[in-house]
Amino acid sequence: MTDGQRQFFQISALILSLIVLLLLVFSRASEVGDGITKTDTDVDLVFPPQVKNNVVRQIYDDLPNIDITSWEYILCNPAHNIGQYTPEVVQVESGNSYFDTRAVDALIDLLNGARTAGFYPRVYVGYRSYVNQASQYQSQVNKFVNDGYSRLDAEKAAAEISAAPGTSEHQTGLGADLVDRYTETLSGFTLDPNFEAWLNDHCVEYGFIMRYPENKISITGRYEPWHVRYVGQIAANFMKMHDLCLEEFVMLY
């Protein structure tokens, strides 16, 4: 090997070493870069609830600022048994129906609004106490037991006809079945379509929602075009605007 060749190899080795060194430095830098990325991810992980809230507020930027635990938002269904909840109730007009004292004026305003529009509404069923509900439910269970059902099957069958105690919205004192003078028949409720349409369009103005509309059966399990529920005007407007039932509304909080 000549001196020239040796020098060439030495320079080549030096250049190679430099390249390796540079590669090492770069790979370190990229590791540091990864480190920074990980730190960023950690920072993101610290704030997911805020991000989630932003998402909810972006979808419903008009979500009312309310106390969802307040009495007018009480949720009562087979999944939310309200036990022996007993509101203070008062007689509605001169009928046999009772309603939550705090919301009865709104109900009377709704009835008067319907009268002004040419209908003759009255409350068919308003508040029903836990004890009343329990006895109604029990008599249904007894009927099925007498028909030869097992106790368990009788309770299941009865629950489809009459809500189990603690699960009927009528126990909240905020739900009412409304009928028109022409539409109450022995076969049950067949609501005048004009009255039904008026209720759908106007109950919100009085702080009411249609509690069991047809398009929410998959959530509520019921379709009752005669059943109105007081939630107050703020919530009623919001739920109507966004086509939400009470179950969906409560879940936003």
Binding site for Zn ion (CB under 5 A): 177, 227
Q: In whole angstroms, what is the distance from residue 79 CA to residue 138 CA?
A: 19
Q: In whole angstroms, what is the distance from residue 169 CA to residue 161 CA?
A: 14
Q: Give the residue nearest to Zn ion (CB).
A: 227
In this structure, what token pair is assigned to residue 213?
């509309």
Q: Which of 126, 207 has the CB closer to Zn ion?
A: 126
Alpha-carbon distances of 101 from 91, 92, 93, 107, 174, rounded to whole Å: 9, 9, 12, 10, 9
Q: Which secondary-structure segment (H or E) carries 221? A: none
HSE value, Cβ hemisphere, 13 Å, CA-based, for 44: 6
Q: Which of 72, 177 has the CB closer to Zn ion?
A: 177
CB of 238 to Zn ion, least distance (A): 22
Q: Which of 63, 75 has the CB closer to Zn ion?
A: 75
Q: Which of 100, 177 has the CB closer to Zn ion?
A: 177
CB of 212 to Zn ion, least distance (A): 8
In this structure, what token pair is assigned to residue 98?
């009772």
Q: Which of 222, 242 has the CB closer to Zn ion?
A: 222
Catalytic residue among 155, 184, 205, 224: 224
214 is catalytic: no
Residue 97's nearest CA partner among 181, 174, 191 is: 174
Q: Which of 12, 135 has the CB closer to Zn ion?
A: 135
CB of 206 to Zn ion, least distance (A): 17
Name residues whose C-beta falls within 8 Å of residue 78's C-beta, 6 or more positions apart in sequence: 159, 163, 164, 167, 221
CB of 60 to Zn ion, least distance (A): 28
Q: In whole angstroms, what is the distance from residue 80 CA to residue 186 CA?
A: 31
CB of 108 to Zn ion, least distance (A): 18
Residue 234's nearest CA partner among 201, 206, 198, 210 is: 206
Angle between helices 104-116 and 193-202 (to 10 degrees): 130
CB of 52 to Zn ion, least distance (A): 35
Instruction: Classify the C-alpha dihedral 53-56-58-63 as positive or negative.
Output: negative
Catalytic residue ranges: 224
